[in-house]
Amino acid sequence: DPQIAPLPPSPWSRLPIVPASAHEPRAKMGAEGGECAGANGEKAEEAKPSPVVSRGCKLLDPMPMLTAKVVHGFGRGSKMLGFPTANMEVRWDKEDTPEVLSPSERDILEFARTCETGIYYAWAQVVNGSDRGIYKVAMSIGWNPTFTDVKAKTIEPWILHDYAEDFYDCELRIVVCGFVRPELKFDVFEELIVAIREDGEFCREALDATSVAEVAKHPFFAQE
């Protein structure tokens, strides 16, 4: 059975810690942070109910250590959803000839091919950017089923930090610590926004656990 790491009580979440593979919702999380913006720029109703989403902390062993270039994505993260995500380059064009790739390119391609789609918590560093801090991450991996224009699995870390400038084409290093929940499709756009916000807060807390907080000091990350 997967190891479930307990988290301390939080005002952000009323979810119990349940296995990430649970099929039935166990509790409902209340929306925090007031109003949220919809796709057309209009504000959602403040009383909009929060989607029922089960989340858990399933530690990965070993924890994948991934390196990739940050590339342009669909532009939805900041402009449409309000959550700026980085897009890690996955060389799907070389899926049939992985031997021509570098070791780091093969590693992230293999991870993308074989991992379960959904939300993960991780640590990340932009190695050659102006801000080389090591920060908490809520990472989405999958097909983005709420949208219909995704043709290949994507790896999109939402680094829970405000950067002063973009870091396209920079090298991003990530240690993927654990799995939170499977990928879901939301029929109501505002529910997607609420779920992403709550994913971020859940991952932020999960990374405070002793078993994963120390990962931020791993020599995989470039030291000052």
Cα 164 to Cα 99: distance, rounded to the nearest angstrom: 37
Amino acid (1-letter code) at residue 206: A
Note whether 53 and 217 are within 8 A (CB).
no
What value, to the nearest 5°, has the Cα angle with vertex 160 and ends 73 and 118? Answer: 60
Catalytic residue among 105, 156, 201, 205: 156
Cα 98 to chain centroid, rounded: 25
Give yes or no: 116 in active site: no
Query: What is the token pair recorded at 203?
Result: 């991952």
Going by C-alpha positions, the residue among 85, 44, 52, 90 that lies closest to residue 193 is 44
Which amino acid does the sequence have at 138?
A: A
CA distance 180 to 18: 10
118: left (phi over 0), alpha (psi -120 to 50) or beta: left
Choose among 199, 201, 203: nearest CA to 186.
Answer: 199
| Residues carrying an active site annotation | 156
